[in-house]
Amino acid sequence: MGRLMALALLGASLAFIGERILSLRGKMNAVSREVTSVELQNCQLIEGLENGSEDIDILPSGLAFISTGLKYPGMPSFAPDEPGQIFLMDLNEQNPKPHALKFSDSFDKEIFNPHGISTFIDKDDTVYLYVVNHPHMKSTVEIFKFDDKQRSLIHWKTITHELLKSVNDIVAIGLEEFYATRDHYFTSFPMTFIEIILELRWTYVLFYSPREIKVAATGFKSANGITVSQNRKYVYVADVSDAAIHIMEIQDNWNLTQLKRIQLGTLPDNLNVDPATGDILAGCHPNAMKILFYNPEDPPGSEVLRIQNVLSDKPTVNTVYANNGSVLQGSSVASVYHEKMLIGSVFHKALYCVP
């Protein structure tokens, strides 16, 4: 009897896992579609950015910060042995070129592995750069002061905390205050696999300040890109494997409550706000499976969405750029300054488009 029960349980478990795999495959097919090209005028690949430009943040002055050289489990890297870097591009120039920023001596740049970034300008106009770093594949948050004259980053603080695990992206909301996303819950195989198969919603958004660190919102399959609205009342969170963007309201105690969820037909990575309109720009993966199983002969495509009237009942979602990978593979971010757009990618090149 015991053995029969065990067999029945095993059968049921196998059937369940099979059903999950089929269900996931169906969903994955929905986001591993052929990409119909949507062209932007006057785009060119940026010379000097060829090994990823995962996240991009542009200051109101037109200075763009670009994080490059991400190494992350499951993601391809064309420069696996080189440390990551932060590049700066001044979009006011006629032909802007990226320049690698120097670091202050105290910072260990040999193990720098930058992921999501966010800028913050304090009361006296000092510019800070917050960077999610993965030294030895762990997660820390590095805060730098930007020295415009020396074109360098002065390391100010490293933040580590038990809740800061598998961190993906960050948005600074004050001096030493930020929200950060966790993109997976388990850190070791096969638990990560089980997490995906069961479609667990165990990832979250963290709030950090020197006084308090806490989970501010829960229930994401894989919380990824995060940004804040211009009036600083709302936070936008991309749930990449759920193909959705969540519009969250900031509460008095810094917790986030969901106002709405915008379903997409593509997997959203990093988010930025267009300062001219308040629209969300999302760097997306239309066929993410091709990133996980990378084949240069059949590369992953790129897609950039613009989401207008974000807070209205019916936000509109438009594709502003799409490419099958022949130009740009695995787009992860788009950011604009006076109608000029930068589009970055997880491990590939970057595009600069002017109107």
Catalytic machinery residues? 115
User: Quick one: 51 or 331, whose CB is closer to ligand NAG?
Assistant: 51
Please state the closest distance from residue 183 (CB atom) to ligand NAG, in A. Answer: 18
Minimum distance of ligand NAG from residue 248's CB (angstroms): 11
Dihedral of CA atoms 115, 299, 43, 127 in degrees, nearest 10, equals: 0
Q: What are phi and psi of 238, to 5 degrees?
A: -90, 125
SS (H, E, C) 69-102: CCCCCCCCCCCCCCCCEEEEEECCCCCCCCEECE
Q: Which residue has the tokens 């760097």?
A: 283
Q: Which residues contact ligand NAG (rule: CB under 6 A)? A: 37, 48, 50-51, 78-79, 82, 214-218, 253, 255, 298, 324, 326
Q: Are 93 and 79 in contact (CB under 8 A)?
A: no
CB 164 within 8 A of CB 207: no
247 in a labelled binding site: no
117 is in an annotated binding site: yes
In this complex, which beta carbon is closest to ligand NAG, that of residue 50 or of residue 249? 50
168 annotated to a ligand binding site: yes
252 versus 313: smaller Cβ distance to ligand NAG: 252
216 or 328: whose CB is closer to ligand NAG? 216
Greatest alpha-carbon span in the chain: 79
Is 54 annotated to bind a ligand? Reply is: yes
Q: How many CB atoms lie within 10 A of CB 190?
A: 9
What is the dihedral sign for C-alpha 38, 40, 43, 46? negative
User: Least distance to ligand NAG from the beta carbon of 182, Å?
Assistant: 13
Nearest CA to 269 out of 9, 130, 41, 75 is that of 75
Residue 190 preceded by cis peptide, ω within 30: yes
The least distance separating ligand NAG from the CB of residue 40, rounded to whole angstroms, comes to 14
User: Shortest gap between Cβ of 44 and ligand NAG (angstroms)?
Assistant: 15
d(CA 169, CA 158): 15
CB nearer to ligand NAG: pick between 40 and 121? 40
Q: How many residues make up the chain in this entry?
A: 355
How far apart CA 298 and CA 135 sit, in angstroms, is 31
Residues annotated in a binding site for Ca(2+): 54-55, 117, 168-169, 224, 269-270
Residues annotated in a binding site: 54-55, 117, 168-169, 224, 269-270
